[in-house]
Chains A and B, each alone.
Chain A
Amino acid sequence: MKTTFPSLLTVAGATALALSSCGRDDDGGEKVTIAGSDTMLQVGLAWQDAYKSVASNVALSVEGEGSSTGFKALIDKTAEIAHSSRQIKESEAEKIKAAHNGTEAVEHIVGFDGIAVFMHPGNPVKSISVPELKEIWAAGGTINNWNQVGGSDSEIQRMGRSNSSGTYGYFQKAILGKNAEGKGLEYKPGTGAANGSQGVVEFCSTTPSGIGYSGMSYKNDTVGWLSVSAEKGGEAIEPSIANVQNKTYPIARPLYIYTVGEPDPDSTVGKYLAWIKGEGGQEVVSAQGFVPIN
Chain B
Amino acid sequence: MAAGKTSAIKAVSSRALDRAEPLIRGVIYISGWSSILFVVAIFFFIFKEAAPILTKVDWGEFFFENRWIPNPAEGNEANYGAAGILYGTFAITVVSTMIAMPLGFAAAVYISEFATGKVKETLKVLIELLAAIPSIIWGFIGLVIMGPIIQKLFDVEVGVNLLNASLMVAFMAIPLIVSISEDALRAVPDSYREAALALGASKWEVVYKVLFPAAKNGLLAAAMLGVGRAVGETMAVWMASGGTENIPGNVLNPAILLERVKAMTATIASEMKDTAHGDEHYMMLFVIGIVLLFICVVINVISDLVIKGIKKKHS
| Contact of A162 with B76 in the complex, beta carbons under 8 Å | no
- Tell me, rounded to whole Å, the shortest Cβ–Cβ distance linking A146 to chain B: 10
Closest to A172 in B: B73
Complex Cα distance, B72 from A172, in Å, reads 10
Q: Which of A56-100 contact B (CB under 8 A)?
A: 65-66, 68-69, 71-72, 75-76, 92, 95
**Max chain A C-beta neighbours (<10 A), residue from B13, B70, B158, B159:** B158
Contact B273 A65 (CB under 8 A): yes
Output the nearest chain B residue to A184 by Cβ-Cβ distance: B73
Which positions 44-91 of chain B face chain A at CB distance < 8 Å? 66-76
Q: Which of A25-33, A203-211, A241-249, A261-269 lies at the interface with chain B? A: A203-211
Alpha-carbon gap, A206 to B67, bound state (A)? 27
CB of B157 within 8 Å of the partner chain: yes
Q: Which of A76, A169, A190 contacts B276 (CB 8 A)?
A: A76
Q: How large is the interface on B (under 10, 10 to 19, 20 to 34, 35 or more residues)?
A: 35 or more
4 tightest A-B CB contacts, nearest first: A184-B73, A164-B274, A192-B244, A184-B74
| Candidates A68, A189, A209; contact of B66 at CB < 8 Å | A189
Q: Could you tell me if A69 and B274 are in contact, using CB atoms closer than 8 angstroms? A: yes
> Which A-chain residue is minimally distant from B84 (CB atoms)?
A189
Shortest distance from the beta carbon of A63 to any chain B beta carbon, whole Å: 9
Query: Mask for B246-285, Cβ within 8 A of A = 1, else 0?
Result: 1000000000000010100000001101111100010000
Q: Which B residues touch A66, using CB under 8 A?
A: 273-274
Query: In the bound complex, how far is the Cα of B66 from the Cα of A76, in angstroms?
Result: 32
**Interface residue ranges of A1-49 to B (CB < 8 Å):** 1
B143:A202 contact, CB within 8 angstroms: yes
Cα distance, A195 to B13, chains bound together (Å): 61
Hey, which chain B residues are within 8 Å of A234, CB to CB? none
Interface string of B21-55 (1 = CB under 8 A from A): 00000000000000000000000000000000000
- Once A162-B271, A164-B70, A193-B270 are accepted as A-B contacts, the answer to whether A72 and B159 lie under 8 Å apart by CB is no
Pick out which of these stretches binds chain A: B199-207, B209-217, B235-243: B235-243
Q: How large is the interface on A (under 10, 10 to 19, 20 to 34, 35 or more residues)?
A: 35 or more
Query: Which residues of A, 180-206, contact B by the 8 Å Cβ criterion?
Result: 182-186, 189-195, 202-203, 206
A178 interface residue per 8 A CB criterion: yes
- Which residues of chain A are near B274, meaning CB under 8 Å? 65-66, 68-69, 72, 162-165
Give the docked Cα–Cα distance between A203 and B240 (Å): 11
Given contacts A193-B244, A207-B158, contact A71 B73 (CB under 8 A): no
Q: In whole angstroms, how far apart are the Cα atoms of A55 and B244 in the complex?
A: 45
A163 contact from B66, B69, B239, B260, Cβ within 8 A: B69
Give chain A nearest CB distance to B164 CB in angstroms.
12
Query: What residues on A are CB-neighbors of B122 within 8 Å?
Result: none
The answer to whether A195 touches B276, judged by C-beta atoms less than 8 angstroms apart, is no
A12 to B239, CA, bound (A): 40
Contact A195 B239 (CB under 8 A): yes
Query: Which residues does B use to contact A, with CB under 8 Å?
Result: 13, 66-76, 143, 147-148, 151, 157-160, 238-239, 242-246, 260, 262, 270-271, 273-277, 281
| B76 contact from A92, A163, A184, Cβ within 8 A | A184
- Quick check: A173 and B74 within 8 Å, CB to CB? yes
Bound-complex Cα distance A172 to B73 (A): 7
Chain A residue contacts of B75, Cβ below 8 A? 178, 182-184
Inter-chain CA distance A176–B74, complex, in Å, is 11
Contacts of A69 in B (CB 8 A): 273-274
Q: How far is the CA of A189 from the CA of B76 in the complex (A)?
A: 16
From the candidates B76, B157, B160, B245, name the one contacting A155 in the complex (CB within 8 A): B157
A157 near B: Cβ within 8 Å? yes
User: A99 CB to closest chain B CB, in angstroms?
Assistant: 10
B275 close to A164 (CB less than 8 A): yes
Tell whether A154 is near chain B: CB-to-CB under 8 Å. Answer: yes
CA distance A110 to B158 in the complex (A): 37
A201–B71 alpha-carbon span in the complex (Å): 23
B79 and chain A: residue at smallest CB distance = A186
Q: How far is the CA of A91 from the CA of B68 in the complex (A)?
A: 20
Contacting pair A195 B73 (CB below 8 A): no
**B84 to nearest A CB, angstroms?**
8
- A68 and B158 within 8 A (CB): no
| Alpha-carbon distance between A265 and B66 when the two chains are bound, in angstroms | 50
Residues of chain B lying within 8 A (CB to CB) of residue A186? 69, 72-73, 76
Q: How many angstroms from the CA of A178 to the CA of B72 in the assembled complex?
A: 12
Identity of the chain A residue whose Cβ is nearest the Cβ of B67 in the assembled complex: A189
Distance to closest chain B CB from A164 (angstroms): 3
8 contacts between A and B (CB under 8 A): A68-B275, A76-B276, A162-B274, A164-B274, A183-B73, A193-B243, A195-B238, A206-B148
CB neighbours (8 Å) of B246 from chain A are 189-190
- Complex contact A154–B157 (CB within 8 A): yes
The smallest C-beta distance from A84 to any residue of chain B, in angstroms, reads 12
Contact of A164 with B71 in the complex, beta carbons under 8 Å: yes
B71 engages A169 (CB within 8 Å): yes
A245 vs chain B, min Cβ distance (A): 28
